[in-house]
Structure 1
Amino acid sequence: MKNLFAKIAAAGLFVLAPVVAQAAEGYSTANVNMRAGPSTRYPAVAVIPAGSSVEIRGCLSDVNWCDVEFYGGRGWVSGQYVQALYQQRRIYVGPQYYRPLGIPVIRFSVDNYWDRYYRNRDFYRERDRWSRGPDYYYRDRDRNNRDRDRDQDRRDRDNRNDDRNWRDADRNRDGDRDWRNRDRDRDWRNRAGDQERQDGWRDGNRRPDRRDPDCLPGDLSCDQ
């Protein structure tokens, strides 16, 4: 039998069983946000109350962040807020304790992780922007906000200019109307003055009527 297994292994026909990923039981030391990635700049997906039990599924080797499971949800928590039991005492989870605690070292990918756990989240729609890293996402968002604010300022300025132009146009129309009214009044006064002067001229050149009581007999200006 041993020779049979040896021959199978030598022939490369012996298939190893898949290695089951290790995990460790941990405890949150404070009310801490569980986030969608290993940084405080990723969106928060839940709040883990202080003293709650979490399952540590893996940690990054270069940054002290761990992928944890809490009440069926998954997310990332900084190792400085998670303790685990090691040699009858609780210790904060750090890279030097990963192997003794049975915590696997893992990597993080927005695409794979978010596809698996966050398809129903609002921020999933911006996965492509987040996949470049939170710093890029916030720079891009800030740039878009600045562009939007600049466009809004431009629209506000254009609106103010439009309002000023309308006010100027209204003022010009009012001015034109006032000038027209003044010209009309002046024309009326001129016509009235002309009529008065004309009436006065006729009165001054009309000979008195013979029946005029002021016309005395013998007055050569009176009609005889």
Structure 2
Amino acid sequence: MRKFLFSAAAALCAVVAAPSLADAAVRGYSTANVNMRSGPSTSYPAVTVIPSGAPVTIYGCMSNVNWCDVAFSGGRGWVSGNYVQAAYQQRRVYVGPQYYRPLGIPTVTFEIGNYWDRHYRGRDFYRDRDRWDRRDRDRWDRDRDRRDWDRDRDRERARDRDRDRERDRADRDRDRDRDRADRDRDRDEIRRIPRLPGGANPDQDNDCFPYCR
């Protein structure tokens, strides 16, 4: 009996201590007639249409794309933050990454298998879950490859810019050295020219030569 009471008390404490989704949920409002979809993209099947101005419960939003996990009329799904507003400092703001923390919206991820198992078992599109799961993985792989390609491209462009700057600097230094050498050579040649009496230079026109004093 004592063991049972201890287990029950521990379970109750765990339930009270653990944060629930309801505690983290935020009230929002649809700003247009918008599809609530079964995943964070317009490519996923639509679950229902949320009317403009209808209240929704926001359970979390993704950090890499502005899509939020919401509840509406007893169903769950995903809506773009561009179509959801929430109250912030006595005004409504669109739900974007800059407002996640101030609004108390947690950052969440999406796993199609787990999410669809919990919310869409009775839906027609659920039987195609494996196909959507593969498509999802392929899309993440493509996105990862694209990010890697973009990063490599940016590195190549940075290296090209550095090479161009080094080449331009070398060209400027070479031109400067050549100009300096030309000036020094001209100065030396002028110094080697013999001076005539009175300071005249035979290479210069002088009307008083040879009577200049």
**Normalised by the size of structure 2, how large is the TM-score?**
0.55
**Is the CA contact 1:129–1:136 (under 8 Å) kept in the aligned structure 2?**
no
The structure number with the bigger radius of gyration is 1
1:41-56 pair list within 5 angstroms: 41-56=43-58
Unaligned runs of 5+ in 1: 1-13, 138-224
1:94-113 pair list within 5 angstroms: 94-113=96-115
In structure 2, what residue type is equivalent to 1:18? A
CA displacement, residues 18-38 of structure 1 (integer Å, 9 cap, x when unaligned) = 123301100000000000000
**Normalised by the size of structure 1, how large is the TM-score?**
0.52
The equivalent of 1:131 in structure 2 is 133
Shift in Å, 1:112: 0.4
The equivalent of 2:19 in structure 1 is 19
- Number of residue equivalences: 124
**Is the CA contact 1:83–1:91 (under 8 Å) kept in the aligned structure 2?**
yes
Unaligned runs of 5+ in 2: 1-12, 140-213
Q: Secondary structure at the match of 1:37?
A: coil
1:37-116 pair list within 5 angstroms: 37-116=39-118
In structure 1, what residue type is equivalent to 2:47? V
**Is the CA contact 1:26–1:53 (under 8 Å) kept in the aligned structure 2?**
yes
1:35 pairs with 2:20: no
Q: What is the percent sequence identity of the aligned residues?
A: 68
Q: 1:81 to 1:135 in 2, by over 3 A?
A: farther
Q: Which runs of 4+ in 1 moved over 3 A?
A: 133-137
Shift in Å, 1:135: 8.8
In structure 2, what residue type is equivalent to 1:20? S
Q: Secondary structure at the match of 1:105?
A: coil
1:65-214 pair list within 5 angstroms: 65-133=67-135
Shift in Å, 1:136: 5.3
